[in-house]
Chain A
Amino acid sequence: MQTSRWNAILVPVLAVILGLIVGGLLMLLMGYNPIVGFGSVFQGIFGNMYFIGETLRAVTPLIFAGLAVAFAFRTGLFNIGVEGQFIVGQLAAAWVGAFWTLPTGLHAAVAILVAMIAAGLYAGIAGWLKARLGVHEVITTIMLNYIALFGANWTIRTYLIGASERSKDILPSASLQAQWLSDLFEGARINWGLLLALAFSLICYWLLMKTTTGYELRAVGFNPHASEYAGMNVSKNIFRAMLISGVLAGIGGATDVLGVNGNMAISAGFTGIGFDGIAVALIGNNNPFGVIFGALLFGGLSFGADNMQRVEGIPTESIQIVISIVIYFVAAATIVNWFLGKLRRRQGVSQK
């Protein structure tokens, strides 16, 4: 128990170190100085309060996307559709935020609630199809991503249009921006969404680990046949897991619109946040607290990478390569475990 708990932390940490080494070697091979490169990434994340604030702003939606993917994963479902559910959440929040009139604070809460319901139901389509008709959730969620993208574009263009190619701005009463927080970080767009993200990580942890519902969801993910035999309703749990997964993605989309941009743009392509959420969940070992770690790592590195390209001219993609190596080594935990085992054995021998 003790060792396995240690490994759960050590494996990702070692994977990160290995990722940085491989990424550094690649930079070296291509004629860049990795120390300068990583130094400017570090600068880009921690250089000043504004950078820190913007990093945390970039991390916020990734926490929600990571939680959404992780939650489905725990029930054995691969939700590639977080991207689409995120878009549905954005759209719902943009609509409620700009077109409803409610008192300050309540307005934001209602906008988030509507986004939760809309995105939850949207993910629920895939859950229902899987539970009822056995349609593979990987296909349906991919298809639903595209439908969400085009559908949202059409809805914005037809009903929500404001200034050039974006939806009407949300009313101040629906904003998640906090002046004091923004001032603290020298005007960064950090907002209440971050605190919501942390709160929902806690809620997810509690729901998954401390409730009967969570136990059932995990049991179904671990072994659907045994769960069925134990009297659990597998179909119901599949539907429920997708619903919750979508709800989480929806809040992420809502905080993005209400906290950062204030509107939703008509877009030719995906935001990428849903797909990044897959990486975040995997780095975080599908654990809600691990997701925070994964999002900080992923969001931090990606945000800092912009600084590296701007200042040093090293392509941002080198950081994406680092992240991919991290995921690879998290997946291939065997290598890391083997390495750890060898290390322990050596320690054991030397202690004798």
Chain B
Amino acid sequence: MNFTDMLITILNGTIIFSTPLILAALGGVINERAGIVNIGLEGLMTIGAFAAAVVTIWTGETLGLPGWMAPYLGIIAAMIAGMVFAVPHAVASIDLKADQVVSGVALNFFAAGFALFMVKKLFEGAGQTTTVQNVFTKVNIPFLSDIPVIGPGLLKIYPTSYLAFILVGLAYWMLYKTPFGLRLRAVGEHPRAADTVGVNVRKVRYLAVILSGGLAGIGGGTLSIAISSNFQHSTVSGHGFMALAAMIFGKWHPAGAMGAALFFGLATALAVSGQVLGLTAYVPSEFLNALPYLLTILALAGVVGRAEAPAASGKPYEKGSR
């Protein structure tokens, strides 16, 4: 394998592996910016991955819809499922003034249990779905994909990856350039002040939690119908927590979270293609696998330092309190 091929493999892997993290971390950013902590991203991704796999199989293989259409319906289902499953967390953290960390943990347990329960129910007791036939395929853009290195490395990717980058832009625009974004951030920093000037704290927080559920759902969907082609207990395995880490690493900013997710993606790409690239001849594969996590700790200790969460994050808001 020559150097150019290596570079293409690594660049392409970076984009693909970071996609689910970008999407879920974006959900986390919107959530926490509105003052709600969501440890449940992992569970929401699980539900998304499950819904995407099942709906893609159902629409493509059972209903016989065109093969290209099925994964799109799958990803929409993942988004809706994520939004629906985020509601109990919203109710607990906003109306019931529950401990948000605890509620998020409950969501993780529930989602994993529910998804696997349904898989066993739908696929005759098997621990995983059948193989999804109509998974997303990498998009070839005419002319652009022919550009050396950048074309096959960065532009020959799944449609969900394009979606992720578009959503980063949209989230940035929404948070920093629209009145709604201003309200959302105000609610996360100082809900009392926001309330005083007439912002409906409850409504904004509900919207933020549901929105983040949708994003995490899509992120999970990319795991089961783009990166792999089925859903099982290990499909999500920690991606939600990694997204949480990316959000904090990225200092609660959409672009920052994206950067952190790309960093994790790069490290994963190096580890996964270590064999192909011949790296395992020099370094044990376990070291390559541990590298992304080690680098993250070092980066946080050395570069980022103190990360400040939105001031009201994790605190329930009661009208009339200070």
Contacts and interface: CB of A to CB of B under 8 A. Distances in A.
Given A133-B305, A315-B120, A331 B98 contact: yes
A262 to B, nearest CB: 23
A236 interface: no
Contact of A150 (B92, B286, B297, B300): B286
A295 to B, nearest CB: 15
B294 A147 contact: yes
Contacts of B91: 332
A43 interface: no
Contacts of B101: 78
Contacts of B92: 328, 331-332
A134 B102 contact: no
B138 interface: no
Contacts of B241: 80, 142
Interface string A126-150: 0001000111101110111011001
Contacts of A133: 300-301, 305-306
A151 interface: yes
B116 interface: yes
Q: Chain A binding site: helix, strand, loop or mixed by DSSP? A: helix
B249 interface: yes
B109 A279 contact: yes
A269 interface: yes
B237 interface: yes
Contacts of B120: 315, 317
Contact of B103 (A136, A320, A332): A332
B271 to A, nearest CB: 9
A328 B87 CA distance: 13
B68 interface: no
Contact of B113 (A80, A318, A332, A333): A318
Q: Which of B96, B234, B293, B305 has the most CB of A within 10 A?
A: B293
Contacts of B307: 134-136
Contact of B107 (A80, A324, A334): A324
A142 B244 contact: yes
B286 A151 contact: yes
Contacts of B177: none
Interface in B39-82: none
A30 interface: yes
Interface in B90-107: 91-92, 96-99, 101-103, 105-107
Contact of B237 (A80, A269, A278, A328): A269
Nearest to B127: A315
A282 B290 contact: no
Give the top 10 A-B pairs by smallest Cβ distance, nearest first.
A320-B113, A134-B306, A324-B110, A331-B102, A324-B109, A154-B286, A317-B117, A327-B106, A143-B293, A328-B106
28 contacts: A129-B301, A133-B305, A134-B305, A135-B305, A138-B244, A138-B245, A139-B245, A139-B296, A143-B293, A143-B294, A147-B297, A150-B286, A150-B290, A154-B284, A154-B287, A269-B237, A315-B120, A317-B113, A318-B113, A320-B112, A320-B113, A324-B107, A324-B108, A324-B110, A327-B105, A331-B96, A332-B96, A335-B96
Interface of A: 26, 30, 78, 80, 129, 133-136, 138-140, 142-144, 146-147, 150-151, 153-154, 157-158, 269, 278-279, 282, 313, 315, 317-321, 323-325, 327-328, 330-335
